[in-house]
Amino acid sequence: PTPYREFLSWVAGRDAAAARTAWAKTLDGLEGPTVLAPAGPAGRSAVPEQVIVGITTGLTDALTARARELGVTLSTVLQGAWGLLLAALSGRDDVVFGGTVSGRPAEIPGIESMIGLFINTLPVRVRIEPAETLGDLLGRLQAQQAELLDHQHIGLTEIQQLTGCAPLFDTITVLENYPLDAEAMREPVPGLTIGAVDGRDATHYPLTLAGLPGEELHLRLGYRPDLYGESEARDLVARLIRVLTRIAERPGTPVAALDLLVDGERDRLLYGFNATTIELPPAGTVHDTFAQQVLRTPGAVAVRCGGRDTSYRELNIRANALAHRLRSTGVVAGDRVAVLQDRSVDLVVSLLAVLKAGAAYVPLDDRYPAERSRRVMADTGARVLLVDAAHTDAGFEHGARVLRVDEGVDGAHYDLGVPVRADRLAYVMHTSGSTGEPKGVAVTHADIIALAYDRAIAPIARRRVLVHSPQAFDAATFEIWAPLLSGGTAVLAPSGDLDLTDLRDVLLEERIDTAFLTSGLFRLLVQEHPEALAGVREVISGGDSVPAESVRRLLEHCPGTVFSHAYGPTETTTFATLHRIAMTEDIGRTLPIGRPLDNMRAYVLDSALRPAPIGAPGELYLAGAGVARGYLDRPGPTAERFVADPYDPTGRRMYRTGDVVRWNARGELVFVGRADDQVKVRGFRIEPGEIEAVLGRAGAVEQVTVQVREDRAGDKRLVAYAVFDPALPVERRPDLREVAARTLPAYMVPSAVVALDALPVTANGKVDRRALPAPGAGTGDGRAPSTEAERVMCELFAQALGVPEVGADDQFFETGGNSLLAAGLMVRVRETFGCELSVRALFEAPTPAALVARLDGSGGADTSLAVVFPLRAAGEREPVFCVHPGAGLGWPYSGLLPELAGHPVYAVQARGLTEPDALPATVAEMAADYVEQIRKVRPAGPYHLLGWSFGGIVAQEIAVQLREAGEEVGLLAMMDAYPHPYEGEYEPVTDPAQVLEMMLDFVGRDRAAAGEGPLTAAGVVEVLRRGHSSLADLTEQHVAAMSRVMVNNMRLAAHARPRRLEGDVLFFVATVERADLHIDDWLPYVGGTIEIRQLHCRHSEMTAPEPLAAIGRLLAERLGTGTDEEGQS
């Protein structure tokens, strides 16, 4: 045979650059990989199994003939059909998968007999155009493949590098079309016969489709049994055969008209999964239903608040009295009455009284800006504003009559008997609106009763139900009305915002049976105080994604508790679906949002309003009980969202949620994402268009777009991008965050505003979201470099920061830089300029111009290890002092600089780093030294302190000493710091080698990187220099000093005896892989409140770029230079 080296020589002679260009062109614009399979267990892959299905001879002949007619190969037909199936099942119009080619170029003589491995797997891209016919799609795909024939020798790894996506796909196809001489196989040698030929192959891909030609085409689908069941695999093949059949029979069919549902699936999706119909009592009103409950259990406790019980009879009497007062002020059936009150019995009385008077209530939230409350009042035309003593001055303009709920309680107590139908309005609750005006969701009496009578809701509402949600949040509908219409008790939490300790106390002291918690609050409560839920029979959580691990932790600590994952827009009366979990073994990797409630229907539909196949994403539509009437006096938005239900013969409407979901095989809904511009941030549904409308009304704003960035998983941030009038000086531009804060709730205020010369757009004129820079990225607007050295240095800065340009005076740490990027930058600086500048030089000279000035060795002595080292010395606002963690260095705090605009920021570092014998004997001694150094920088307060880990203990003592000296401590913030870190599972480390290993772990390097043998300071230095750590320039002496400092600081922490600080603490808690440490341990040492904010990261990751940026934003808000974006946990 021809030697294999002939093939290698052929490959060496190919034009590699042309191949890369061809593949880059083919894959240009691909948004990302196409991943169909669910996530599997990390590090494990099951042995593949397979199903083989034969296609009839008739269909095989028809496909072959149709391929010949269309001028395409059978391989192209198979790939086109698979691409169409992938597009439908992934919900994308641009997919990519692997196609296996023989890799034997015809131009090499004897290639067919050459021995060697030639096959190659290459990307196949299929772009879906709905109006295109199936035949045209196949022709386009064939032409695309033909253009790549000369470039099939390039490796998949190299192609993936061109796209920046690896892996590009998780499914592959192959047409096993190799020659086989059947006659010769019958008797290859005299006397020897072959009875059968079979083979078994496998790949590491979750799905491998092979076409086996013959008189009957066979399809073999290999699948990983840990990701797919046999029935799912057979359904995939059945869907594929439907596509192939349509290609063979009707190639002129538009792609959009392709139906992938298998036999019986349509009925299962529309009716089987929606078998929720039950008979309810004759429809009545909320107040009539409540009156019936009063007759059944007059003496039972209806409401408990502040230790006082109010019976059903008493509540009814008080509501009747207030209803009479409302009628006497002119309130008539159909009116709207606004309610602005703290949580109290009077609040419940007010809501019930409004309904008894025939009106609908409009809940207000005193945390909303005055302008938003004014607009809500105007939108609803509320004639009366019901207030309590705390809200007699509403704080916003309105024309309604103000009525104090706690005045004039004497009067008629009989039921008014105002005739009201069940389909009349019960309340109006406002959600985000894309035009800038909030939309009032109109909910009826029947909607509330349907929720309360649901078979999953009613049993858990007949107990003690916690009421703690704001009244303008739709969870309050469940918390109040579900128990009151079922004979349960609504237990009101204390008024105002509850911190974690308050919530724990009310759960335990009031023996709560049922509680709804937003997902963020649930995660933190389970992490910090799982015992608080031990007596709760049913915990419901929703509003955003709930981690499966949080549910697992709940059930492990509270085996008697049942968890329900709830989903429901305000437009469907709080809850539309529920998924209940009672045992840990029922917890999967992702929590479904469940099945529809009683008499409610859930449809997962494609863009043509056809049912999406099981497992395929589609938009969720909800119909039946609980669906609101629409948006009050907003026919346009109502018609857009409340659309005709094509599957209801009575012609009723269904609500288009804008959420993308999929059905699983068990008939449960799984949340995928959003289909429209609405997003959820911290459980609140937000339309960026509403924010854009507000910002666009500010002067000098020519264009604006608001996007949600999730640069780190779980950290969603609202960012505004604005184009200002170029004629307006920068200093006269409006502060758009202040503009937003005047009108919008805090959760809708962007965390950052990025000014651009123009908004980037795609070819079709839409905003190109991928081209929008991350907040803090340099824009090249600063001073241009004036020398060649500055020009080169600016280029190095830009490369490190990942931005197009950097000005000569742009600050590295204020334009997106951090201590990790600093290490990589300084490596390139040393290589480019042949200098010996260290990372520490960048902290002292953080601009290109300043660093260039250091190239000749000028610039003064190295002070980067000073006790008080300025990360940024300039700034017109009050400074922030950041106390070092156990190792003694404060450089990692540099990531705060972009968020703390205008604030000088100082790192407080261990004296032992530069003075080997300066190891304090107590935390108090260390703090006293630091107080003296801090006051040299800032002689008088207020002082703002931050401490991470061990640094939090020291910062607290610094605050105590400053207070004793008569100084004001404006802010004390701690990052996962605990007063007694070594009373649990951990012990102080004294062994030098263990300490050095902890240092390596601190910078993310494994012990093995230092080689075998004892770990020494020299070995650590070598590891640091090989990596891109911010500590790469430390000497052996520095590492040894840090080791001594760390050992001493662990000893100090173990023996620390904190003193009581009369003040508040802002506490940032790391929620991933938590140690057995508790924030409550600080309670004896903090006289004020401890406000807790959670970060989804490990303790060691708190100064990584994303968590530290989140911390910086919260600090800025506390210091008056930012707006709360993270939200109270």
Strand partners, 1070: 1095
Structure tokens at 531: 């015992």
Structure tokens at 753: 């505003």
Collect all residues with Cβ–Cβ distance below 8 Å to 969 and sequence separation of at least 6: 941, 942, 943, 944, 945, 959, 962, 963, 1063
- Beta carbons of 719 and 686 less than 8 angstroms apart: no
Domain of 631? 600-679
Whole-structure pTM over 0.85, yes or no?
A: no
Residue 384, in any domain of the structure: no
Residue 778 amino acid letter:
G
Q: Give backbone dihedrals phi and psi of 831, rounded to 5 degrees, phi first.
A: -65, -40
Shared domain for 158 and 29, answered yes or no, is yes
In 3D, which of 281, 305, 602, 341 has the Cα closest to residue 466?
305
Q: Domain with 923 in it: what CATH number?
A: 3.40.50.1820
Q: What is the largest CA-CA distance in the chain?
A: 114
Q: What is the 3-state secondary structure (H, E, C) of 1033-1069?
A: CCCHHHHHHHHHHHHHHHHHHHCCCCCCECCCEEEEE
DSSP 951-1002: HHHHHHHHHHHHHHTT--EEEEEEES--S-TTSSS------HHHHHHHHHHH
What is the count of structural domains for the chain?
A: 4
- Tell me, what's the pLDDT at 1017? 75
Residue 121, in any domain of the structure: yes
Final residue before a domain boundary, out of 736, 771, 806: 771
Shared domain for 653 and 696, answered yes or no, is no
Shared domain for 656 and 626, answered yes or no, is yes
Shared domain for 129 and 229, answered yes or no, is yes
Shared domain for 964 and 948, answered yes or no, is yes
Structure tokens at 400: 């309604």
pLDDT in tens, 843-879: 778 889 889 888 866 555 556 788 998 888 777 889 9
pLDDT in tens, 934-986: 998 898 989 999 999 999 999 999 999 999 999 999 999 999 999 988 875 56
Structure tokens at 326: 């409302």
Tell me how far the alpha carbon of residue 386 is from its chain's centroid.
Answer: 38
- Element containing residue 929 per DSSP (H, E): helix 923-937
In 3D, which of 1068, 1099, 989, 1039 has the Cα closest to residue 888?
1039
Q: Domain with 27 in it: what CATH number?
A: 3.30.559.30
Tokens 């709730």 correspond to: 745
Shared domain for 717 and 649, answered yes or no, is no
Final residue before a domain boundary, out of 771, 800, 816: 771
- Beta carbons of 466 and 508 less than 8 angstroms apart: no
Shared domain for 969 and 1074, answered yes or no, is yes
Shared domain for 618 and 737, answered yes or no, is no
Shared domain for 71 and 166, answered yes or no, is yes
**Nearest-angstrom CA–CA distance, 437 and 456:** 35
Residue 252, in any domain of the structure: yes
Rg of the chain over CA atoms, in angstroms? 34
Residue 295, in any domain of the structure: no
Residue 507, in any domain of the structure: no
DSSP 1084: G
Shared domain for 741 and 890, answered yes or no, is no
In 3D, which of 29, 187, 25, 167 has the Cα closest to residue 98?
167
Residue 972, in any domain of the structure: yes
Listed as ranges, residues in the chain with pLDDT below 50 are: 41-43, 683, 712-715, 762-766, 777-780, 1028, 1122-1129
Residue 25, in any domain of the structure: yes
Shared domain for 105 and 8, answered yes or no, is yes
- Tell me, what's the pLDDT at 782? 62
Q: Domain with 646 in it: what CATH number?
A: 2.30.38.10
Final residue before a domain boundary, out of 679, 705, 724: 679
Is residue 369 reached through a cis peptide bond, with omega within 30 degrees of 0 on the bond before it?
A: no
Q: Domain with 708 in it: what CATH number?
A: 3.30.300.30
- Tell me, what's the pLDDT at 523? 77
Q: Give backbone dihedrals phi and psi of 731, rounded to 5 degrees, phi first.
A: -70, -10
**Nearest-angstrom CA–CA distance, 90 and 37:** 10
Shared domain for 644 and 701, answered yes or no, is no
Residue 239, in any domain of the structure: yes
